[in-house]
């Protein structure tokens, strides 16, 4: 049996792989950082699905290109100017792991809270006063529900406040709460990651606003999103950080090839070294660079997962049964019999009970299936999430379809994609032949 787990034990590999989410800055820095990463190692190790811990905390120095707020064709913005990026800090914290209902399915998710405060000089046309100079203040707080099984974002809610403080008072620019719901999900990663991999993804984003929109126009309520992803390289990142001498550079572009997101993934910090977002709030780009990282406290109990020797998790066929054994130990390493253990695969949760040895044999006879993400040239990896509810202890591992299975899955999915309004068929024509060990 091969072992995958979270915790310690002689029969399992410690599942404590850590990484990060990150990216770049303005277009000039974007180009510079991209060019520095194209020649990464060809023997890069595969990056498996990682786990964050409750209490993980990342602090970033942030530059926000608030000039992008200004619509030059809108007369209400006439004369407005924010010549320099707003600066400040962004704090991201893993608050909890919980069950969350999305599109009729209960899923195990991280609840991640991000907050930021940014400021800088600006000029704005205030009523009666005309053009006034002052300090632009941006505050936002965002909650994301991120699925454990594949790190896909299901829902995102943002409380945003923007104002201009000047000598005569404060001019409110906007004070809103927005909600993005992704259908089926917004999947940035396709774990396990390998150097120079590529894949595409499409989803529907539903957006709603409440509050005082101020000078901003509400967006479309629904938007079809298509994204292409590229693991540019496994190489030296643009900044120095202990344990992150080498990192994965993952970029994202839209259907027209324009950059929309960029991240450096490093196992040592379980979070972002550098991130760049083309639209962090209201269409404004932002660059985040890690300033500090504080690790959360792991559970005292351990979940260990041993995979049947006959299963190659990186080369599974459609319908193949999943066979593995779970061991549950307490903080002293002693088995925990009679404990309930939940196993979630493709949004279906099954309940098992450990025997007198603290173990239970799992046989998901329904077998491996394609996940619900409407991706093209995606190897179709999906995660198995194991939970001990009494101690909130979790373990995860991925299942990857082989070339024959993914070719079949793509063929079955194409007809459905053609019915999705706005899907750009052919925009990411990558290949039609599938080698046995090739992932797109």
The pLDDT tens digits for 407-434 are 555 555 555 555 444 444 443 333 333 3
Those residues with Cβ within 8 angstroms of residue 167's Cβ, 6 or more apart along the chain or in another chain: 132, 134
CA 63 to chain centre: 21
pLDDT value at residue 148? 93
pLDDT value at residue 374? 60
Whether the pLDDT of residue 143 is over 70: the answer is yes
Whether the pLDDT of residue 440 is over 70: the answer is no
What tokens were used for 8? Answer: 């310690």
pLDDT tens by residue, 224-282: 777 777 776 688 899 999 999 988 888 888 878 888 998 998 989 998 899 999 999 98
pLDDT tens by residue, 123-137: 887 776 678 889 999
Whether the pLDDT of residue 175 is over 90: the answer is yes
According to DSSP, the residues that pair with 345 across neighbouring strands are: 348, 384
Q: 241, 227, 230: which is closest to 193 by C-alpha?
A: 230
Q: How far apart are CA 345 and CA 339, in angstroms?
A: 20
Question: What is each CA distance from 106 to 230, 283, 349, in whole angstroms?
Answer: 30, 31, 8
DSSP 3-state assignment of 77?
helix
pLDDT value at residue 418? 53
Q: How far apart are CA 296 and CA 94, in angstroms?
A: 8
Beta strands at 382-388 and 393-399: parallel, antiparallel or unpaired: antiparallel
Of 90-104, 272-286, 311-325, 382-396, give the lowest mean pLDDT range. 311-325
CA 216 to chain centre: 27
Q: How far apart are CA 245 and CA 359, in angstroms?
A: 38
Those residues with Cβ within 8 angstroms of residue 279's Cβ, 6 or more apart along the chain or in another chain: 260, 285
The answer to whether 25 touches 284, Cβ cutoff 8 Å, is no
pLDDT value at residue 409? 56
Of 72-76, 228-232, 367-371, 382-386, give the lowest mean pLDDT range. 228-232
Q: 311, 306, 44, 305: which is closest to 193 by C-alpha?
A: 44
Q: 317, 313, 318, 338: which is closest to 328 by C-alpha?
A: 338
Whether the pLDDT of residue 38 is over 50: the answer is no
Element (H, E) at 412: helix 403-418
Mean pLDDT of the chain: 79
């Amino acid at each position: 049996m091969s072992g995958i787990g979270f915790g310690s034990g002689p029969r399992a590999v410690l599942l404590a792989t850590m990484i990060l989410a990150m990216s770049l800055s303005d277009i000039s820095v974007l180009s510079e950082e991209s060019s520095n990463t194209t020649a990464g190692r060809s023997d890069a190790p595969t990056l498996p699905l990682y786990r964050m811990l409750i209490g993980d905390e990342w602090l970033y120095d942030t530059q926000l290109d608030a000039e992008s707020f200004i619509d030059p064709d809108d007369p209400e913005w006439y004369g407005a100017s924010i010549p320099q990026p707003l600066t400040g800090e962004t704090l991201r914290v893993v608050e909890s792991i919980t069950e969350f209902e999305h599109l009729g399915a209960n899923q195990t998710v991280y609840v991640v809270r991000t907050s930021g405060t940014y400021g800088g000089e600006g000029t704005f046309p205030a009523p009666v006063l005309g053009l006034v100079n002052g300090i632009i203040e941006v505050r936002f707080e965002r909650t994301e529900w991120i699925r454990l099984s594949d790190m896909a974002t299901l829902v995102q809610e943002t409380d945003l406040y923007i104002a201009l403080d000047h000598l005569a008072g404060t001019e409110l620019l906007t004070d809103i709460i927005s909600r993005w719901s992704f259908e089926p999900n917004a999947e940035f990663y396709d774990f396990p990651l390998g150097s120079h991999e590529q894949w595409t993804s499409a989803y529907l984003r539903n957006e709603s606003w409440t509050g005082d929109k101020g000078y901003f126009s509400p967006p479309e309520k629904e938007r079809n999103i298509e994204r292409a992803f590229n693991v540019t390289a496994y190489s030296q990142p643009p900044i120095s950080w202990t344990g992150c001498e080498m990192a994965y550079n993952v970029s994202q572009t839209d259907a027209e090839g324009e950059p929309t997101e960029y991240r450096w993934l490093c196992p040592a910090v379980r979070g972002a070294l550098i991130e760049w977002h083309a639209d962090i709030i209201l269409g404004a780009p932002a660059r985040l660079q890690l300033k500090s990282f504080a690790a959360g406290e792991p559970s005292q109990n351990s979940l260990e997962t041993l995979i049947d020797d006959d299963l190659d998790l990186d080369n599974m066929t459609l319908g193949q049964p999943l066979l593995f054994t779970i061991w549950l130990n307490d903080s002293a390493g002693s088995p925990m019999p009679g404990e309930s253990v939940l196993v979630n695969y493709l949004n279906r949760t099954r309940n098992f009970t450990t025997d007198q040895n603290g173990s239970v044999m799992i046989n998901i006879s329904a077998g491996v299936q394609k996940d619900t993400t409407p991706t093209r040239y995606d190897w179709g990896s999906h995660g198995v999430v194991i939970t001990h509810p009494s101690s909130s202890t979790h373990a995860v591992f991925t299942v990857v379809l082989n070339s024959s299975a993914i070719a079949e899955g793509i063929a079955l999915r194409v007809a459905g994609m053609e019915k999705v309004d706005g899907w750009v068929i052919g925009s990411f024509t990558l290949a039609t032949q599938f080698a046995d060990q090739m992932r797109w």
